[in-house]
Amino acid sequence: MDGNSSETKEKIFNTAIALFHTKGYKGTTIRAIAASAKVNSANISYYFNGKQGLLEACFIRFFEPYIACLEEEVQNLSEEGLKRAAFRILHFQSENHLLSRFVWREVTVDSQIVREILSTYFMKERYLLKKLAKAWCGPGIQAGKLNFLMIQLKSMLSMPYLNSQYIREVWGMQPEEPYFAEKYGKSVAEWLDSIRQNAGAQPEPLLLETAF
Amino acid sequence: MDGNSSETKEKIFNTAIALFHTKGYKGTTIRAIAASAKVNSANISYYFNGKQGLLEACFIRFFEPYIACLEEEVQNLSEEGLKRAAFRILHFQSENHLLSRFVWREVTVDSQIVREILSTYFMKERYLLKKLAKAWCGPGIQAGKLNFLMIQLKSMLSMPYLNSQYIREVWGMQPEEPYFAEKYGKSVAEWLDSIRQNAGAQPEPLLLETAF
């Protein structure tokens, strides 16, 4: 093994992401990853168990911290949790923009591994999103309506990172910059405010006159 | 040439869409399209000038009617134009769900043809969307804010058709059904109402007392 082992592993992973990103998963060979990372192909087998293993590593390294953004907010459940999770997800994608773009693109494919992701990470995401959305909008919100709102939120959060080239070339913005995540996040937060108002949640806690 | 010529052309096109959809563009050969459509490969060259020509045909057949949804509303410009265009785009995608999913997926790739689409159809779309959004929100809306809103709208309209498998398996809804387009469209329309109110446009025309 050449060099420090965890360093080699990271080098392979980052090279693979860059190549998957430009040449696609199918268009990238183990040989090309080895040549570009300047490691022996045996190292890739050793650390990742080949190309399929690298793909799985991409999904795990994306979805574990992604789900954690939601999970931590659910564990410390408060009204503002949904909004904070939205900002965290935007910043996480901005910091990992190559990985994000690759992963969002790969999950649009019909494959065994994508079906597994749909039934694990995405089902968990749905559960956590609903928890946060109920804390945000109040328990009175209708279930069907909540589902559509969560699909809309998901769309808004992922699209600029999946279609980063479109955002750059058509709108002249850089989704990988923290500035974009912050400004765009504010626009998403305004929408969250409006759905909360429409759902009938109170913008401020009110003192209720009780006892008569 | 076998059979009626425009019938053969349609058969080739629809077979190609179905194969691109399941096997991807790169994973589909002219030979496979010819076999599945039960035509001679020479027919594919004749009508589409090969696989690249089929890809271009997919983009043209998607973006021409897609842009028309916006263009017709701009030509008969009214306040409600943006909302009507949103519903039309959802229904158009629902009626052409295989083509939509394939096209939305392909435009996430870096390639010469995608760069051409970004600089033609997507620039035109941006221009038309802004016109409609200004008519909807009133001229007072700040340009930077408008850009973010249009990115959000674009995300909401395309995501269920790009990620149709996700919508089906995680949320149990069928994006290809007109019922989905209608219900989901209502949720998008509510968002449009809220951005209009935030932009300060009047929900109802007001009679202004003038002259003093």
The 3-state DSSP class for residue B2 equals coil
| Nearest-Cα residue of chain A relative to residue B195 | A191
Which of A18, A33, A27, A29 lies closest to B24, judged by CA? A27
Structure tokens at A54: 């690298």
Whether A18 has its CB under 8 Å from any CB of chain B: the answer is no
Interface contact A155-B151, CB threshold 8 A: no
What integer pLDDT is reported at residue B3 of this predicted model? Answer: 57
What integer pLDDT is reported at residue A38 of this predicted model? Answer: 95
Structure tokens at A16: 């693979």
Alpha helices (H) in B41-177, listed in sequence order: 41-48, 50-75, 81-95, 97-106, 112-119, 121-137, 143-162, 164-171
What integer pLDDT is reported at residue B212 of this predicted model? Answer: 40
Q: What is the ipTM of this complex?
A: 0.88
Question: Per-residue pLDDT tens for B88-120?
Answer: 999 999 999 999 999 999 999 888 899 999 999
Interface contact A118-B166, CB threshold 8 A: yes
Percent of chain A surpassing pLDDT 70:
92
Q: How far is A13 from chain B (nearest CA, A)?
A: 21
What integer pLDDT is reported at residue A3 of this predicted model? Answer: 57
Q: How far is A148 from chain B (nearest CA, A)?
A: 6
Point out the residue among A148, A169, A187 whose CB comes nearest to the CB of B145: A187
What integer pLDDT is reported at residue A201 of this predicted model? Answer: 57
Whether B24 has its CB under 8 Å from any CB of chain A: the answer is yes
Whether A4 has its CB under 8 Å from any CB of chain B: the answer is no
What integer pLDDT is reported at residue B27 of this predicted model? Answer: 86
Question: Per-residue pLDDT tens for A154-206?
Answer: 999 999 999 999 999 999 999 999 999 999 999 999 999 998 888 765 444 44
Which residues in chain A have Cβ-Cβ distances shorter than 8 Å to B155?
155-156, 158-160
Q: How far is A209 from chain B (nearest CA, A)?
A: 31
Question: Per-residue pLDDT tens for B9-29?
Answer: 999 999 999 999 888 888 899
Interface contact B118-A166, CB threshold 8 A: yes
Whether B198 has its CB under 8 Å from any CB of chain A: the answer is yes
Interface contact B167-A159, CB threshold 8 A: no
What integer pLDDT is reported at residue A133 of this predicted model? Answer: 95
Which residues in chain A have Cβ-Cβ distances shorter than 8 Å to B170?
118, 122-123, 126
Point out the residue among A107, A151, A191 whose CB comes nearest to the CB of B160: A151
Put simply, the chain B residues between 71 and 110 with a CB less than 8 A from any chain A CB are: 101, 104-105, 107-110
Point out the residue among B122, B156, B165 whose CB comes nearest to the CB of A155: B156
Interface contact B151-A159, CB threshold 8 A: yes
Q: How far is A3 from chain B (nearest CA, A)?
A: 34
Q: Say how far apart CA A122 and CA A128 lie, in whole Å.
A: 10
Structure tokens at A200: 């009938």
Instruction: Count Cα atoms within 13 angstroms, Cβ side, for B118.
Output: 20
- CA-to-CA separations, B29 to A23, B41, B44, B99, in angstroms, rounded: 19, 10, 11, 18
Q: How far is A82 from chain B (nearest CA, A)?
A: 17
Interface contact B163-A194, CB threshold 8 A: no
Q: Say how far apart CA A157 and CA A185 lie, in whole Å.
A: 8
What average pLDDT does the segment A91-118 reach?
93
Question: Per-residue pLDDT tens for A127-151?
Answer: 999 999 999 999 888 888 999 999 9
Interface contact A108-B148, CB threshold 8 A: no
Point out the residue among A118, A145, A171 whose CB comes nearest to the CB of B151: A171
What integer pLDDT is reported at residue B206 of this predicted model? Answer: 43
Which residues in chain B have Cβ-Cβ distances shorter than 8 Å to A165?
108, 110, 114, 118
Cα A30–Cα A35–Cα A41 angle in degrees, nearest 5: 45
Q: Say how far apart CA A26 and CA B64 lie, in whole Å.
A: 30
Return the higher-pLDDT residue of B172 and B198.
Answer: B172
Q: Which of B170, B186, B190, B193 to mutate to probe the A interface, most A CBs <10 Å?
A: B170
Q: What's the mean pLDDT when you consider all of chain B?
A: 90
B64-100 b/e (C-beta count within 10 Å ≥ 16 → b) = eebbebbbebbeeeeeebbbbbbbbbbbbbbebbbbb
Question: Per-residue pLDDT tens for B130-166?
Answer: 999 999 999 888 888 999 999 999 999 999 999 999 9
